[in-house]
Structure formats: C-alpha cells, structure tokens
Amino acid sequence: EIVLTQSPATLSLSPGERATLSCRASQSVSNRYLAWYQQKPGQAPRLLIYGASSRATGSPDRFSGSGSGTDFTLTISRLEPEDFAVYYCQQYGGSPYTFGQGTKLEIK
Amino acid sequence: EVQLVQSGAEVKKPGESLKISCKGSGYSFSTYWIAWVRQMPGKGLEWMGVIFPADSETRYSPSFQGQVTISADKSISTAYLQWGSLKASDTAMYYCARHLYGTDWGQGTLVTVSS
C-alpha cells in the first residue's frame, strides 16, 4: 500500500500570497496518477488536479500541480479568500488508492 | 450534467445492518468506476474501495476488506455500500465518487451508530 504524507499539516498565509503544498509517496506513483482535492467545511471534496498536473474542469488556473515518482506539489499562485480550505492528495496508480492526511490552509 | 445522488442520513444501533446508495445520472454509469470514501468526524478522507459497474469488478482497501460490501446495479445506475453488523466506530460521512480519481462526488450520507 502506498502511504502519502502531506506537508505541512497546517499552512498559514495571507490572501495574495503563494501557497506550496507537498505530497510525498512511500513508493513511486505509476504514470503520475496523483490527484489533488479541495474540501471546505460541510462540503464534499472537489477535484482540482489529476494526472499530477492536469487541471480539472472548472479548476481556476491559479492552481497548478507538478511532480513525479514520489514527490508532488500543488501550487496556488495567488491566494483568494475562497482558497482557504483543506487539501488532499490521492494516488490512483495502484490499489488501494490512498489519500494523504490533508493540509489545512488557513488565513494568517 | 453528471450527478451522483446519495441516500439520506441514517441512525442505527450497533449490530444492525445497513445499505446506502449512490445513484448516477448524466453519464454512462456502467463505464466509470464508482469509489466509496469514508470521513470520520473531524478527520481526513479514507479510500474504502471501488467498483466497475459494467462487470462488478471490485477492489477494497485492506482496512475495509471484510468489513463492508460494495455492489452495483447497472440497470438502475446505482452503487451500494453495505454493512452486515454496524459498530459505533462506523459513525462517519460516506461519499461516493465517480472515476478512480473523483471527478464528481455525491453529497455524502451521514451514518450515525449509537446505542
């Protein structure tokens, strides 16, 4: 089973700043099958990025993903007030298709 | 428009059985994987398992294998998650999601297990 470790657990930033979230896998994620989700309180998760770097339909272009192998990054270029939420990575390269434990992005 | 509509909230007692549902519409239900994801109160997302409705191929997380059963009825575009004997620790929000990476999500079904 691939274990995904997200860092930091909490990230405190201000609107307009750049956010960099990390997701590290315990073994290589095949074919860059890594997705990123945003979840706000009381809501279902929303897909932002799939295939490590492809933006999902409706995902703003300030969200970008990168990485391969065991190291992946979600970057939010300029934070908007609505971006403060919890972010999860998920690998779907090999079953079980595990999630990371999440990074909470909070307003500084 | 793709939609996944889940069944309503449930309150059950320990030891009872339960089957919750996820109905897909707006796409070819049989040809996309449907995943089930658990979120315990205040916690993160846990991948439980996935089913391919066309042939009912199912894959489970080892953490949930034997604890739940995932099934689907492609004739009515509905996937299911069921328990034979609920525990208090099954109290959680359960989401269904389309595709191996969740392009679309249901609204969630809150399951509360309490004596």
Contact in structure between B29 and B46 (CB atoms under 8 Å): no
Residues in chain A closer than 8 A to B59 (CB atoms): 95-96
Is the CB of A44 less than 8 angstroms away from the CB of B59? no
Nearest to B31 by CA among B1, B51, B54, B56: B54
Write the pLDDT tens digit of every residue in B81-91: 999 999 999 99
Q: What is the dihedral of CA A47, B79, B89, A4, to 10 degrees?
A: -30
Write the pLDDT tens digit of every residue in A67-99: 999 999 999 999 999 999 999 999 999 999 999
Residues in chain A closer than 8 A to B44 (CB atoms): 86, 88, 99-102
Q: pLDDT category, B78, cuts 50, 70, 90?
A: very high
Write the pLDDT tens digit of every residue in A40-51: 999 999 999 999
Nearest to B55 by CA among B27, B26, B32: B32
Residues in chain A closer than 8 A to B105 (CB atoms): 44-46
For every residue of B24-43, DSSP letters joined together read: EESS-GGGS-EEEEEE-TT-
Nearest to A99 among B45, B50, B59 (CB): B45
What is the DSSP-derived secondary structure letter of residue B65?
B
Assess A72–B contact: CB distance below 8 Å, yes or no: no
Choose, out of B60, B64, B100, the residue to mutate when testing the contact with A (most A CBs < 10 Å). Answer: B100
